[in-house]
């Protein structure tokens, strides 16, 4: 018997799919939010297609951030790379403190309008949570386990891939989850520089004073964020449960 929370998530997913397939069903709900004659359902593009582009942007940016952040965390937790720890911490911190809007503004003159500046902004913004979590995961492994791995005659590479990464994986995934959720919301501002994301819907609503558009764009992003967050959390639990760490 699935729990109430699971049923609610399933319901949210079904409503979202219904909205993509039969947006007309929802028109009566959104109609009161718009002035007479204005469209209640976004009509300047396919919402499903926009959602896919939005997800693609988030996926590519997070994947790149995860690869770089985890590699960096592995590097600075090796004996040879320890001296780079403060430097990489500062770099990653700057990535997080620099506002994505400012990154967009700076990136547009170099890369032009479109998806690239958004990817860069999301990539930089997503580094910190993944890096910090990977660092925590890799530096808080049980000392007796590490000692046993060394004593058994595992090489440094074997220890990393057979022991350290599997044990740190749940914590690393937590970082990736945080990063994904932040990026899902932040990606909307990419549409200010002509990236195809759900931000388009929100911006169109703001420009034409159409509250229904703003609500649609916002809700789709919010539902996606909740569903993806929960799915990743489930994955973490499954992994941690097996490893019991």
Partner 1 sequence: MIEFDQITKHYGDTEVVSDVSLTVEPHTITVVVGTSGSGKTTLIRMVNRLVEPTSGVIRIDGEDNRSIPAFELRRRIGYAIQGHGLFPHRTVAQNIATVPILLGWGKARVKAKVEELLTLFQLDPSFFAERYPHELSGGQQQRVGVARALAAEPNLLLMDEPFGALDPIIRAKAQDDLLAIQKHFGTTIILVTHDMEEAFHLADRIAVMDKGEVLQYANPAEMLVRPATPFVEALIGASERPFRLLAIERAGDAVEPGAAEGTPIPASLSQRDALSQLLWSGRPALPVAAADGAILGKVSLEGLVKRAARPR
Alpha carbon distance 132, 135 (integer Å) = 5
Q: Which of 154, 194, 232, 235 binds partner 1 (CB under 8 A)?
A: 154
Q: Which of 58, 135, 163, 178 binds partner 1 (CB under 8 A)?
A: 163
Applying CB under 8 A, what is the total number of residues that bind partner 1?
Answer: 21
Nearest approach in angstroms of CB 157 to partner 1 is: 10
Indicate whether 242 belongs to the interface with partner 1 (CB under 8 A).
yes
Tokens 């919010």 belong to 222
Indicate whether 243 belongs to the interface with partner 1 (CB under 8 A).
yes
Indicate whether 144 belongs to the interface with partner 1 (CB under 8 A).
yes
Q: Which of 46, 139, 155, 233 binds partner 1 (CB under 8 A)?
A: 155
- Smaller CB separation from partner 1, 165 or 226: 165
Indicate whether 110 belongs to the interface with partner 1 (CB under 8 A).
no
Indicate whether 142 belongs to the interface with partner 1 (CB under 8 A).
yes
Indicate whether 245 belongs to the interface with partner 1 (CB under 8 A).
yes
Q: From 12-20, 121-129, 184-192, 237-245, give the range in contact with partner 1 by CB under 8 A.
A: 237-245
How many alpha carbons fall within 13 Å on the CB side of residue 23? 16
Q: Which of 10, 67, 112, 150 binds partner 1 (CB under 8 A)?
A: 150
Nearest approach in angstroms of CB 240 to partner 1 is: 10
Alpha carbon distance 7, 232 (integer Å) = 17
- Smaller CB separation from partner 1, 55 or 145: 145
- Smaller CB separation from partner 1, 106 or 245: 245
Indicate whether 139 belongs to the interface with partner 1 (CB under 8 A).
no
What is the residue-wise DSSP string for the chain?
A: ---HHHHHHHHHHHHHHHHHH-GGGGHHHHGGGS-TTS-SS--SS-HHHHHHHHHHHHHHHHHHHHHHHHHHHHHHHSTTTGGGHHHHHHHHHHHHHS-HHHHHHHHHHHH-SSHHHHHHHHHHHHHHHHHHHHHHHHHSS-HHHHHHHHHTT--HHHIIIIIIHHHHHHHHHHHHHHHHHHHHHHGGGGGGGT--STHHHHHHHHHTT-HHHHHHHHHHHHHHHHHHHHHHHHHHHHHHHHHT-
Alpha carbon distance 131, 66 (integer Å) = 8
Indicate whether 238 belongs to the interface with partner 1 (CB under 8 A).
no
- Smaller CB separation from partner 1, 89 or 159: 159
Indicate whether 158 belongs to the interface with partner 1 (CB under 8 A).
yes
CB neighbours of residue 171 within 10 Å: 19
Q: Which residues bind partner 1 (CB under 8 A)?
A: 142, 144-155, 158, 163, 166-167, 242-245
């Amino acid at each position: 018997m699935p729990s109430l929370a699971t049923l609610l998530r399933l319901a949210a997913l079904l409503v979202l799919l219904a909205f993509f397939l039969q947006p007309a069903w929802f028109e009566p709900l959104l109609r009161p939010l718009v002035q007479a004659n204005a469209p209640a359902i976004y009509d300047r593009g396919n919402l499903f297609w926009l959602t896919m582009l939005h997800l693609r942007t988030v996926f590519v940016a997070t994947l790149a951030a995860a690869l770089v952040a985890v590699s960096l965390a592995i590097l600075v937790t090796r004996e040879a790379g320890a001296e780079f720890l403060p430097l990489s911490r500062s770099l990653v911190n700057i990535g997080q403190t620099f506002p994505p809007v400012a990154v967009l503004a700076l990136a547009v003159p170099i890369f032009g309008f479109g998806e690239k500046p958004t990817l860069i902004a999301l990539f930089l913004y997503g580094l910190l949570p993944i890096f910090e979590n990977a660092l925590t995961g890799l530096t808080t492994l049980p000392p007796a386990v590490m000692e046993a791995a060394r004593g058994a005659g595992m090489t440094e590479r074997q220890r990393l891939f057979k022991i350290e990464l599997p044990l740190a994986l749940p914590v690393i995934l937590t970082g990736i989850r945080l990063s994904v959720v932040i990026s899902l919301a932040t990606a909307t501002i990419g549409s200010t520089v002509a990236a195809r994301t759900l931000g388009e819907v929100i911006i169109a609503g703001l420009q034409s004073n159409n509250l229904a558009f703003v609500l649609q764009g916002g809700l789709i992003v919010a539902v996606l964020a909740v569903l993806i967050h929960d799915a990743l959390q489930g994955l973490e639990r499954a992994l941690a449960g097996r490893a019991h760490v």
